[in-house]
Structure 1
Amino acid sequence: MFPAALSTGIQYASLNFPVDEGWTRYNGLQQLTYFITVFVAAPVSIITGFMQGPAISNRLGWFGRVLDRQKARSIHFISFLWFVFFIVAHGVMVFVTGLRQNTNHMFAGVHDESWSGFPFFLLAMAIIVAAWLWVSPFTLRNARLVQKTGQFTVGWIKGLIEWFDPRSQMTEKDISPYLWPNGTMPNSPEFDSLIAGNFESYRLIIGGLVEHPREFSLADLKALRRQEQITTHFCIQGWSGVAKWAGVPMRDIMNIVKPAPEARYAVFYSIAEGGDRGRYYDVHKISNMRHELTILACEMNGEALTVLHGAPLRLRCENELGFKMVKWISAVEFVDDFKHLGAGQRGYNEDHEFYGYRMPI
């Protein structure tokens, strides 16, 4: 196999092509190429694709740490390059080794010198080009419709997968030396005043459908039960990092304010604006607020939370993607629905960037 593949490769490289016997059998180089594509590149792409899924990476423990998201991305990219090479090389060879015979094989199922397959090849290419020319501008003009169509077709599948609840934590040695900060920083005199006063005048307002609306100072929150956890932050942009967070369990806050039975969601409002202006907010299911790893964090890696990472207070909801963990929290509102908020899509990024409706990792 390998000597035959090498010999065939030399013939192709010299442009002295070997006799084409593809109708009956593949030469050594073709067999080796197809073997790599089907039995190596495809499984590698599938496995590394799954390992980029935060829930899967989180749930598989040591294997998720060995083949973490970043390693999986790099390997996945290499396998992707193989497929690009295979498609380009395959397409070129179809043209240069006998377009008429090859299109007969692919589109007419015959092995002769006729032109019976070529018209079907041209028709297929015309349909593809026409579809692309129509679909591209249509999807840009109707982005929300495309999003709703996607929700209809795969939303229920994502809903079934939500039972896959990652709860694993990391160790001190896994903490990343640097955790990338994201988000548009607060830019207001009021926030500058909070920083100057070391957040002593900060108040977290909790209201909406609750029995006991409350305002908490930072000192009030720090006086409550403290929970510490070492977890992986998964950004929707593809990067990840590990940090140790500490703060107040959200379920303890709920025990104090007592959400009403009709309260189904918790809305977190930020002091900061989003990238397209307007107040940044995000909506969470109330059941998620009772998750054992959902806290209002005021510490990171054993120190007070920095402004860059969301001080004075940020949400850590470890079964969600990073953009849903609101930083610089100013208020929490319990509601029965979110359709009246923003564009009614469950959060600032969902409103502006067409992120999916379901975002648990």
Structure 2
Amino acid sequence: METPSDDPHENVPAADVGPDSRVSFRNELDRTHYTAVDEDWAGHVPAQYGVAPRVRIGRSKWFNLLWLIPIGLLLMIVAIAVAKGIRDLPVVQDFMRQFPGASKLPDDAPIGFPAWLGWQHFFNLFLMTFIIRSGVTILADHPRLYWTRHSTPGKDWFRIQKPVPPDPLYTAKQDSITLPNGVGLPGRRHSIGLARWWHLGVDTLWLLNGIVFYILIFSTGQWMRLVPLNWDVIPNAVSVAIQYLSLDWPVESGWVNYNSLQLIAYFVTVFIAAPAALITGLGMSPALSTRFRAISSLFSIQVARSLHFFVLCWFVMFIVVHVTLVLTTGALRNLNHMYASRNDDSWVGFWIFAASMVVVIVAWVAATPFTYRHPRVVQKVGFALIGGAQKLFEHIDSKPGQYTEKDISPYFWHNGKYPETEEYKQLEAGTFADYTLRVNGLVENPVELSLEQLRALPHHEQITQHFCIQGWSGVAKWGGVSMQSIVDLVKPAPEAKWVIFYSFAVGPDGGIYYDAQPIEQMSYELTMLAYDMNDDTLSFGHGAPLRLRNEVQLGFKLVKWIKGIEFVEHFSEVGGGLGGYNNDHEFFGYRQSI
């Protein structure tokens, strides 16, 4: 909200308009065109491996999930012993005769598997390998999960990293971890920019494949084989479980009808897990979460992120169990069903399956080295696939009023490379009394504004949630001046379409940090320059003396330690020409509303 005033610039000290006000900061940028990921990439981020997955029990106890392996084996042995012991009981025999394992299908249900289903099956598997691997890399960039929007250290319920150290300036980037070769995509520490292009881009193809799948199963009647149509599916599933656990497995007749345990698993995968993947993914969008307040107040980014992780776990578990059962319950016949659309024991399906596995394995092995050698290709293809949706969501003008002071996070992560230049140190030592914000470019009135002059502009406050590209979030109260006030003051020329924000901080590869924002977003109600945070002067770690807030964008675009603003026709003329330091150097994207 803004303090009302008849004249928005009443009592504002005169802004300085001199020769320096038209000088650009472009000569301080690194204009190198980076085309590969090597050992010196991103300032040589050293490898840092995490710990075994852990789940918090109670307030401070952590359980190492690797213990689930021996515990699971022990429980499996016990379950097998129990199943074998009860299977021959008369009551269990009667139960299994009444519920042999499969529900009756409608008379018009199709029999067999059409060829298109085999192709759908392959495409789904092929795309899921990239989605899962890139998803794990994204998780590794903030290797902690929470149940509230406050990403407070020690309140995470899951982690694959050590506890957060007590260093008050410890950053989220320092917390990121490296993944073993062949696991993540690409897997290198803090390669989230490239991982997101893989994840979101392939997600788009996976969704298109899914839409085609839904259309075909409902138009051909195949849906009847995937949806439980009778309540007896539950006792039949129990019967099948007893048969599996007693190691006297049920007779497979998947060509005609799945057993009830398979039916439930397929139904959950197709009609629950797959839509949940989309919904929870969109739940992590800053633009959508900030705009649709009623939903995001309950379904916060951290809830969405945790549920998204459970969906990932379900898909991995389903794939492992599914492949195991396919290969152990009549491999040739099952492979013929899925790959050759035939119901016999020939080797046709096996050889088609083998060829498809060669394709998947080659793609798996080649994906990471290809990404490191051709990151710009990954960046361009990813943007071609998902850029349209990101642009669409950017046009959602978020409104204030979602959060109150009681929602403010007790901990707000620091991030970024801190400014270390002599210029900044001198300004900080003088409590920024000599600081001036230079605003120029394609404007009618280029100005230089001191902090005193900025504070004299109409005051703007907002309590909003921060969305970091790494996955953490936090709610804070920001005080400062709206960008609309700055726009009104400098009067941009009609040809000015982008606004460049320059930082005192120097990026990992040299050259000052910067980012480009669409000029239309400067008039959004929640776009501002903040000099206060939580009713206190903005701290060094959070961007003093001035930082950008634009609540439809991810955090890396919200420049901290701002030294200047320039209105330009297009960002291609600035720095590396891709719309921001991270885009130039670490292959991020200039549109990041998702």
1:253-292 correspondence to structure 2 within 5 Å: 253-292=486-525
1:206-245 correspondence to structure 2 within 5 Å: 206-245=439-478
**Cα distance change of structure 1 residues 109 and 81 upon mapping to structure 2, 3 Å threshold:** same
Secondary structure, counterpart of 1:309 in structure 2:
coil
Secondary structure, counterpart of 2:348 in structure 1:
coil
User: Distance between the aligned counterparts of 2:583 and 2:541, measured in 1?
Assistant: 23
**Cα distance change of structure 1 residues 156 and 52 upon mapping to structure 2, 3 Å threshold:** closer
Deviation digits for residues 9-68 of structure 1, max 9, x if unmatched?
233234332222222222222122222223332333332222222222222222211111
1:20-169 correspondence to structure 2 within 5 Å: 20-169=252-401
Sequence identity percentage? 52
User: Distance between the aligned counterparts of 1:160 and 1:60, measured in 2?
Assistant: 15
Secondary structure, counterpart of 1:245 in structure 2:
strand
User: Distance between the aligned counterparts of 1:108 and 1:337, measured in 2?
Assistant: 53
User: Distance between the aligned counterparts of 2:346 and 2:502, measured in 1?
Assistant: 69
Q: What's the CA shift for 1:279?
A: 0.7
User: Distance between the aligned counterparts of 1:168 and 1:301, measured in 2?
Assistant: 16
- Which residue type is aligned with residue 337 of structure 2? H
| Corresponding residue of 1:334 | 567
User: Distance between the aligned counterparts of 2:492 and 2:271, measured in 1?
Assistant: 54
User: Distance between the aligned counterparts of 1:286 and 1:36, measured in 2?
Assistant: 44
User: Distance between the aligned counterparts of 1:28 and 1:260, measured in 2?
Assistant: 67
Q: What's the CA shift for 1:136?
A: 4.0
Q: What's the CA shift for 1:90?
A: 0.3
- Which residue type is aligned with residue 17 of structure 1? W
**Cα distance change of structure 1 residues 320 and 114 upon mapping to structure 2, 3 Å threshold:** closer
Contact 2:400 2:525 in 1 (8 A): no
User: Distance between the aligned counterparts of 2:274 and 2:388, measured in 1?
Assistant: 26
User: Distance between the aligned counterparts of 2:322 and 2:535, measured in 1?
Assistant: 55
- Which residue type is aligned with residue 39 of structure 1? F
Deviates more, 1:34-43 or 1:176-185: 34-43
Q: What's the CA shift for 1:177?
A: 1.4
Of residues 286, 289, 305, the one that matches 2:538 is: 305
Contact 1:54 1:234 in 2 (8 A): yes
Deviates more, 1:321-330 or 1:130-139: 130-139
**Cα distance change of structure 1 residues 19 and 8 upon mapping to structure 2, 3 Å threshold:** same
Contact 1:184 1:272 in 2 (8 A): yes
Deviation digits for residues 261-283 of structure 1, max 9, x if unmatched?
32222211101112333210011
User: Distance between the aligned counterparts of 2:590 and 2:426, measured in 1?
Assistant: 36
| Corresponding residue of 1:322 | 555
User: Distance between the aligned counterparts of 2:480 and 2:267, measured in 1?
Assistant: 53
User: Distance between the aligned counterparts of 2:246 and 2:482, measured in 1?
Assistant: 69
Q: What's the CA shift for 1:102?
A: 1.1
Deviates more, 1:46-55 or 1:128-137: 128-137
- Which residue type is aligned with residue 262 of structure 2? Q
Q: What's the CA shift for 1:321?
A: 1.5
Q: What's the CA shift for 1:126?
A: 1.9
Contact 1:151 1:357 in 2 (8 A): no
Q: What's the CA shift for 1:134?
A: 4.3
Q: What's the CA shift for 1:243?
A: 0.9
Q: What's the CA shift for 1:133?
A: 4.0
- Which residue type is aligned with residue 220 of structure 1? Q
Higher strand share: 1
Deviates more, 1:252-261 or 1:69-78: 252-261
User: Distance between the aligned counterparts of 1:332 and 1:87, measured in 2?
Assistant: 51
**Cα distance change of structure 1 residues 39 and 131 upon mapping to structure 2, 3 Å threshold:** closer
User: Distance between the aligned counterparts of 1:286 and 1:163, measured in 2?
Assistant: 12
- Which residue type is aligned with residue 244 of structure 2? Y
- Which residue type is aligned with residue 315 of structure 2? F
**Cα distance change of structure 1 residues 255 and 28 upon mapping to structure 2, 3 Å threshold:** closer
- Which residue type is aligned with residue 276 of structure 2? V
Q: What TM-score do the two structures reach when normalised by structure 1? A: 0.93
**Cα distance change of structure 1 residues 143 and 78 upon mapping to structure 2, 3 Å threshold:** same
Pairs aligned (count):
361
User: Distance between the aligned counterparts of 1:260 and 1:109, measured in 2?
Assistant: 64
Runs of 4+ in structure 1 off by over 6 angstroms are none
User: Distance between the aligned counterparts of 1:93 and 1:154, measured in 2?
Assistant: 36
**Cα distance change of structure 1 residues 337 and 127 upon mapping to structure 2, 3 Å threshold:** same
- Which residue type is aligned with residue 138 of structure 1? F
Q: What's the CA shift for 1:355?
A: 1.3
Matching of residue 296 in structure 1 with residue 533 in structure 2? no
| Corresponding residue of 1:247 | 480
Contact 2:397 2:525 in 1 (8 A): no
- Which residue type is aligned with residue 175 of structure 1? I
Q: What's the CA shift for 1:87?
A: 0.7
User: Distance between the aligned counterparts of 2:393 and 2:490, measured in 1?
Assistant: 31
**Cα distance change of structure 1 residues 29 and 202 upon mapping to structure 2, 3 Å threshold:** same
Name stretches of at least 5 consecutive residues in structure 1 with no aligned partner: none
Matching of residue 9 in structure 1 with residue 241 in structure 2? yes
Deviation digits for residues 125-153 of structure 1, max 9, x if unmatched?
22322344444433321111221122233
Which one has more relative contact order, counting CA pairs under 8 Å at least 6 apart?
2
Deviation digits for residues 177-228 of structure 1, max 9, x if unmatched?
1111211111123222222211111111122222222211111111111111
**Cα distance change of structure 1 residues 209 and 150 upon mapping to structure 2, 3 Å threshold:** same
1:174-213 correspondence to structure 2 within 5 Å: 174-213=407-446
Q: What's the CA shift for 1:290?
A: 2.1
Q: What's the CA shift for 1:6?
A: 2.5
**Cα distance change of structure 1 residues 34 and 197 upon mapping to structure 2, 3 Å threshold:** same
